[in-house]
Each structure stands twice: as C-alpha cells, then as structure tokens.
Chain A
Amino acid sequence: MFFHIVLERNMQLHPRFFGRNLRDNLVSKLMKDVEGTCSGRHGFVVAVTGIENIGKGLIRDGTGFVTFPVKYQCVVFRPFKGEILEAVVTMVNKMGFFAEAGPVQIFVSNHLIPDDMEFQSGDMPNYTTSDGSVKIQKDSEVRLKIIGTRVDATEIFCIGTIKDDFLGVINDPTTI
C-alpha cells in the first residue's frame, strides 16, 4: 500500500552551498539522497512531495559542514503481511512465478497456486487449468495476498499466494 507520511532526516551540507539558495540546495540534495531508497520500517521512498520544516543548522567541529534536521513529506510504498493487492507477472518457472507491484517483487510458489493449475514449459512458460480457461504467464495481471515479507538493508521481498477466494488472474494479456 502507498502511504503519505512525514519522515525526518539529518542532512549534512557543505559550506559551498550556503547563501541565497541554501534551502533549494538542501531540498534537491534531500530528494537525491532519499528517493529510491528502501528501509524495512518505512518501505520504499517513492517521491518527496513537500518540506514540513527545516530545523536550525548545527556546525560540525573541524569540517565546517552543517547538519540540518529536515522534516519532509513523502510517498512511500510499504507491503504488509495479509495485504491483498494486484501485481504484474514478470517471470514464470516450474518453482512458481514472480510478480511485481510497483517497486516490490513478490514470489508465488507453485504450492500456493491452485492445485488444478499445471505448469507448461515452452518459450512462454505458464500455469494453466486443465480446461485451458485460465492461464498465468508473463504480463498477466494477478490479484494476490502477501503472506510473508523479508526485509534486508536495501530491499523488501515478499511471498504471496493466489490459493484463496477471489484471488488469481484478473487479466490475461492474450485475450486483449
């Protein structure tokens, strides 16, 4: 789910940026530093949307750098266990398939794909029901439920399932 939250960061600024454009420099450095990063707690920082407040700068001894506490608003994407969302299938193999929901990757193992769907290999590997009516392949859109998340320093990785009511393919690329 996407959220709009306020975060705080201590920004170090080199003295050459001081002057009339100090604030602009600070804001553009903030965007460069935080946009695209990911933390386990807040998820992926997608975009900075505004500055709430810039605190008083503190001159560091010895270097002349100044640290400013900056409070900023941003859009983050944070997946949660138990959340249901839509995703695009990016890769299918006999172990299951990978899907993407925005910046996050979700793996759905073949144990969590309904039992009546069989893996079919070939140049377009896919999972298909025995009557051929439902097919999961690259670029399919699926609705899935996140059942686990793994967080490391710079990435969040999710495990999902489509073995539940109202989950599964919502749109097959071959039929449009």
Chain B
Amino acid sequence: MSGEEEENAAELKIGDEFLKAKCLMNCEVALILEHKYEQLQHTSEDPMNQVSQVFEKSLQYVKRFSRYKNPDAVRQVREILSRYQLAEFELCVLGNLCPETVEEAIAMVPSIKTRGRSHDDDAIEKMLNDLSLIKKFE
C-alpha cells in the first residue's frame, strides 16, 4: 500500500504503469464508447441491457462533459497540446477542463510549473489561446 499512499496527481505521481499508459480525454472516450454502443445496436435488440452499469454511467458522463464534439476537433486538440512537451495525464486534464487563464491552468495542472520545465507563462498562454481557437471554429 505504500505506493498508494504517495499517489498525487498534482505532482504527477500516478504510478509508472499509468504514467506510461495512454490517457484519454473525455471527448475521446465519448467517441470510443459511442462507436462500441452503435456496434451493439446492430447485433442486439436491446443494447442498454447488454452493457454494464459502469459503461452506461461512463457514456453519460463523457457525453455531458465533452468539450469538443466533432472528431476532427478532438484530433486537433491532441495534436496542438502534444506540441508542448506535456505528460499524457497533463494533456488530458487540460483538454478536459479547458482552463481560460494561465493562473487557472496552473491551478488545474500544478505539475506544468514544477521540475524546472520550460513552461513560462507566455508559452502556457499561447497554448490556451490555441485551444480556445479550436473551440471557436468547431
């Protein structure tokens, strides 16, 4: 349990396994789950009975909290954020919460300011601007 105790997402301590894993933004999960749900609709009469409660709740949640609906926009968000040397986890928190100011972004993802990384306020501001542009033109 000692590993569990030290877990802290604010310092990016989420365990090696998850740090290396691919993180998904809510909008990406929505695309995956909706695709899977459609496949089920083809094969069975009553797809809602086929899926687990976890699936149903997750689908409702990601639909409600997806910032970007259109698959192209989702792809662009990931592409733009991946230019900024972020960890997967940081990228997805930013993509999910879409902070509007530099201050807010740092409060949401404190780890972008630590470990002597090259993110100064200007770089963060540019990143947030790029993000809001995608939203605007979606």
Query: Whole-angstrom distance between the alpha carbons of A77 and B61 in the complex?
Result: 12
Q: Mark B1-44, 1 if CB is under 8 A from A, else 0.
A: 00010011111011001100111111011001100100000000
Query: Whole-angstrom distance between the alpha carbons of A77 and B52 in the complex?
Result: 14
CB contacts (< 8 Å) of B107 on chain A: these are 164-166
**Contact status of A4 and B9, CB under 8 A, knowing A36-B52, A102-B62, A103-B53:** no
Q: Is the pair B53, A36 in contact by a Cβ cutoff of 8 Å?
A: yes
Q: Does A134 lie at the interface of the complex (its beta carbon under 8 Å from any beta carbon of B)?
A: no
Q: Mark B91-105, 1 if CB is under 8 A from A, else 0.
A: 011001101000110
Q: Is the pair A49, B7 in contact by a Cβ cutoff of 8 Å?
A: no
User: Interface residues of B: mostly helix, strand, loop or mixed?
Assistant: helix
Query: Whole-angstrom distance between the alpha carbons of A83 and B13 in the complex?
Result: 10
**Contact status of A82 and B8, CB under 8 A, knowing A102-B62, A103-B57:** yes
Q: Is the pair B61, A82 in contact by a Cβ cutoff of 8 Å?
A: no
Query: Whole-angstrom distance between the alpha carbons of A85 and B33 in the complex?
Result: 19
Q: Does B54 lie at the interface of the complex (its beta carbon under 8 Å from any beta carbon of A)?
A: yes
Name the distance in Å between A36's Cβ and chain B's nearest Cβ. 3
Contact of A75 among B29, B57, B104 (CB under 8 A): B29
Query: Whole-angstrom distance between the alpha carbons of A5 and B9 in the complex?
Result: 18
**Contact status of A49 and B36, CB under 8 A, knowing A2-B23, A35-B55:** yes
Q: Is the pair B54, A44 in contact by a Cβ cutoff of 8 Å?
A: yes
Q: Does B65 lie at the interface of the complex (its beta carbon under 8 Å from any beta carbon of A)?
A: yes
Q: Is the pair A3, B61 in contact by a Cβ cutoff of 8 Å?
A: no
Q: Is the pair B61, A1 in contact by a Cβ cutoff of 8 Å?
A: no
Q: Is the pair B22, A4 in contact by a Cβ cutoff of 8 Å?
A: yes
Query: Whole-angstrom distance between the alpha carbons of A151 and B1 in the complex?
Result: 11
CB contacts (< 8 Å) of A44 on chain B: these are 54, 58
A2, A82, A151, A166 interface centre (most CB from chain B within 10 Å): A2
Query: Whole-angstrom distance between the alpha carbons of A151 and B70 in the complex?
Result: 35
Q: Does B68 lie at the interface of the complex (its beta carbon under 8 Å from any beta carbon of A)?
A: no
Q: Does A26 lie at the interface of the complex (its beta carbon under 8 Å from any beta carbon of B)?
A: no
Name the distance in Å between B120's Cβ and chain A's nearest Cβ. 20
A-side residues, CB < 8 A to B, are 1-5, 35-38, 40, 44-47, 49, 75, 77-78, 80-86, 88, 100-103, 141, 143, 146, 149, 151, 164-166
